[in-house]
Amino acid sequence: MRAKLAQLARRLTEIDAALSQEGVTRDLDQFRKLSRERAEIEPLVAGFTDYLAALQDLANAQQMLADPEVRALAEEDEAAARKRIVTLEDDLQRLLLPTDPNDERNIYLEIRAGTGGEESALFAATLLRMYMRFAERNRWQTEMISESGSDLGGYREVIVRVIGHGAYSRLKFESGVHRVQRVPETEAQGRIHTSACTVAVLPEVDEINDVHIDPGDIRIDVYRASGAGGQHVNKTESAVRITHLASGIVVECQDDRSQHKNKERAMKVLAARLKDAQTRAQQQEQATARRSLVGSGDRSERIRTYNFPQGRITDHRINLTLYKIDQIMDGDLDELSRALTAEHQADLLASLAETA
């Protein structure tokens, strides 16, 4: 670890020298690349500097132990230095963990009603509001891509683009089955029902060209949009459905009045889904006997239960139960997000220790 950190310290010196050169901003792409790299390694180098200072403090304290007049003080300094070294080593190990290249990307958030009929569709709307409020709290932008409403105001399916720094890192553990236990609005006798929705969080690809899509592998259908929009939606075939024949993935988009824009949006969602499928296939091949504590992200995996009568939310992957359902449904997901991230990092550290 120390050799790796020393190498990063040298690299930081090289980057600082490059960024201080006259005319560095002439090549903006290179300037941004160097700036991003500096931002990534600077915390590591700062932690390494503190670590080296703590080692020196320990060495100084141990030298003082031989002097009877300051032995008591030296013992205190030695204990403090050892404690600080352990803390800094833990921090540096976490900082050295491999980062997910998608963490800073925008996302496509997909919510689909599952078992439970109309109540499931209503819960899909509840989940959408929760995520939209979370986006607002983080000052992220949201853009409706596609929606298929239900009779009572819920959603059979809804896709939203979330634009914001770190959106994927904060929401990537939301993929899976979300189960709800509550008295539905459609229930006249006050009985508690159980239903479920499926959530998928897909990182946005930089460019559609990043994912190879053979034109011969897709079928594009246009049709008249349904829902609100006045006479226009009844007369213009602006809605677009793209079917990827090789994988069976189907994407529909009708939110915009422009057929061209709907096609562009649908292609971006298709690219994100194909990229996600490729990533999952690679992860499946590379999987070890140890399974991630936060789950595989499988769409069929039940990850969380929302029990409204008890005001309780339980995340089954990390056995975390919180009695603050009102705050969470209002978008306060920070505690859940931090806990899931911490478990993920702990699992990565354990995996690294096994392979060391």
Backbone angles phi, psi at 102, to 5 degrees: -90, -5
Asked if 145 and 162 count as a contact pair (C-beta separation under 8 A), the reply is no
Q: What share of the chain is helix, strand, coil (3-state, %, to 5)?
A: 50, 20, 30
Q: List all residues 6 or more positions away from 22 whose beta carbon is below 8 Å from its beta carbon.
A: none
CA separation for the pair 266, 223 (Å, rounded):
14
The reported pLDDT for the residue numbered 209 is 57
> According to DSSP H, which parts of the chain are helical?
2-19, 28-64, 71-95, 117-137, 167-171, 231-235, 259-286, 325-329, 334-355
> 308 and 195, same structural domain?
yes
Structure tokens at 302: 């039940």
> 248 and 116, same structural domain?
no
> 304 and 198, same structural domain?
yes
> 175 and 86, same structural domain?
no
Encode the chain (356 residues) as per-residue pLDDT tens digits: 788 888 889 999 999 999 999 888 888 889 988 998 898 889 989 999 999 999 999 999 999 998 888 999 999 999 999 999 999 988 887 787 777 888 888 999 999 999 888 999 999 999 999 999 999 999 999 999 889 989 888 999 999 999 998 999 999 999 999 999 999 877 777 889 899 999 999 998 876 556 778 888 899 988 887 654 444 444 567 889 999 998 889 998 887 778 888 888 888 899 888 888 887 776 665 454 334 546 655 556 789 999 999 999 999 999 999 999 999 999 999 999 999 988 888 877 776 666 55
> 302 and 190, same structural domain?
yes
> 229 and 148, same structural domain?
no
* Residue 28 identity (one-letter amino acid): L
Boundary-marking domain end, from 286, 307, 322: 286
Check which CATH number belongs to the domain holding 350 and give it. Answer: 3.30.70.1660
> 315 and 239, same structural domain?
no
Asked if 152 and 186 count as a contact pair (C-beta separation under 8 A), the reply is yes
**Quick check: is 303 in a domain?**
yes
**Quick check: is 146 in a domain?**
yes
The reported pLDDT for the residue numbered 275 is 85
> 269 and 310, same structural domain?
no
CA separation for the pair 131, 330 (Å, rounded):
8
- Tell me the torsion sign for CA atoms 22, 26, 31, 32: positive
Number of domain units in the chain = 3
**Quick check: is 293 in a domain?**
no
CA separation for the pair 56, 66 (Å, rounded):
17
Segment 159-184, tens digit of pLDDT = 999 999 899 999 999 999 999 999 98
Q: Give the residue from 16, 44, 19, 43 showing the smallest Cα distance to 31.
A: 19
Segment 67-77, tens digit of pLDDT = 888 999 999 99
Check which CATH number belongs to the domain holding 244 and give it. Answer: 3.30.160.20
- Tell me the torsion sign for CA atoms 261, 263, 266, 271: negative
**What is the side-by-side order of every strand in the sheet holding 239-244?**
218-223, 239-244, 249-253
CA separation for the pair 203, 177 (Å, rounded):
18
CA separation for the pair 37, 46 (Å, rounded):
14
Residue 298, phi-psi category: left (phi > 0), alpha (psi -120 to 50), beta (remainder): beta
Structure tokens at 12: 């930081």
- Find tokens 């008890």 and name the residue: 310
The reported pLDDT for the residue numbered 189 is 78
> 244 and 259, same structural domain?
yes
The reported pLDDT for the residue numbered 290 is 39
**Angle, CA of 345, 348 and 352, to the nearest 5°:** 140
> 335 and 305, same structural domain?
yes
> 274 and 164, same structural domain?
no
> Residue 157: helix, strand or coil by DSSP?
strand
Total Cβ atoms within 10 A of residue 320: 15
> 90 and 110, same structural domain?
no
Total Cβ atoms within 10 A of residue 249: 16
Q: Give the residue from 102, 122, 103, 124 showing the smallest Cα distance to 112.
A: 124
Instruction: Please state the pTM of the whole predicted model.
Output: 0.67
**What's the domain range around 16?**
2-95
Check which CATH number belongs to the domain holding 12 and give it. Answer: 1.20.58
Boundary-marking domain end, from 43, 61, 95: 95
Boundary-marking domain end, from 266, 286, 306: 286
